[in-house]
């Protein structure tokens, strides 16, 4: 890296770190929201079917919106990773025979570690899809009960 590029690299690392923290906050928000809202809808409380239908519709909208925001957040993290790889590769482009002085994100083992195994991103992705199906089914179930029973 040359000139002000180490500063740019540090700034990109800070942006990536902030995005990662925001992403984790989104996942926590989805978990807490689903724990409370699903317990409310599926619980044995004295809520009418109309109220459960309303909560189901609102719950689906909120859950789906946060799920989309989480997916976009993951794409931003991948974007910042790519920009940092570009900065790391500048040393190689200048004909530096020793290669990159800094090599974190452009190392093959980084992308391998990110894409292999049971990661929190994958686990919460599956949980999010299951919850989306559940949130979609709740309003359909109560709408059917209200209209046809």
Residues 131, 32, 143, CA angle at the centre, nearest 5°? 45
Q: Which residues lie closer than 8 Å to 104 by C-beta, 6 or more apart?
A: 84, 88, 110
State the pLDDT at residue 56.
94
Rounded CA gap, 104 and 37, in Å? 41
Ordered per-residue pLDDT tens for the chain, 149 residues: 556 677 888 888 899 899 999 989 988 988 999 999 999 898 878 889 999 999 999 999 999 998 899 889 889 988 988 888 888 777 666 666 555 566 777 777 777 777 677 777 788 888 999 999 999 999 999 999 999 98
pLDDT for position 81: 87
Cβ atoms 67, 38 nearer than 8 A: no
Report the pLDDT value the prediction gives residue 110, as an integer from 0 to 100: 77
Q: What is the pLDDT of residue 58?
A: 94
Query: Sign of the CA dihedral 85, 87, 91, 95?
Result: positive
Residues 54 and 59: their CA atoms lie apart, in Å, by 8
Q: Helices in the chain by DSSP H: which ranges?
A: 5-42, 49-88, 90-93, 108-115, 120-148
pLDDT of residue 52: 92
């Amino acid at each position: 890296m040359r000139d002000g590029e180490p500063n740019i690299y540090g700034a990109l690392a800070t942006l990536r770190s902030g995005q990662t923290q925001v992403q984790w906050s989104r996942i926590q928000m989805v978990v807490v929201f689903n724990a409370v809202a699903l317990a409310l809808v599926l619980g044995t409380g004295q809520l009418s079917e109309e109220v459960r239908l309303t909560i189901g519709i609102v719950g689906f909208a909120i859950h789906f919106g946060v799920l989309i925001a989480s997916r976009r957040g993951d794409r931003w993290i991948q974007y910042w990773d790519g920009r940092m790889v570009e900065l790391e590769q500048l040393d190689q482009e200048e004909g530096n025979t020793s290669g990159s002085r800094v090599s974190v994100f452009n190392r093959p083992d980084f992308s391998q570690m990110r894409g292999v195994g049971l990661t929190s991103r994958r686990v919460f992705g599956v949980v999010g899809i299951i919850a989306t199906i559940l949130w979609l089914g709740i309003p359909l179930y109560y709408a059917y009960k209200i209209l046809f029973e």
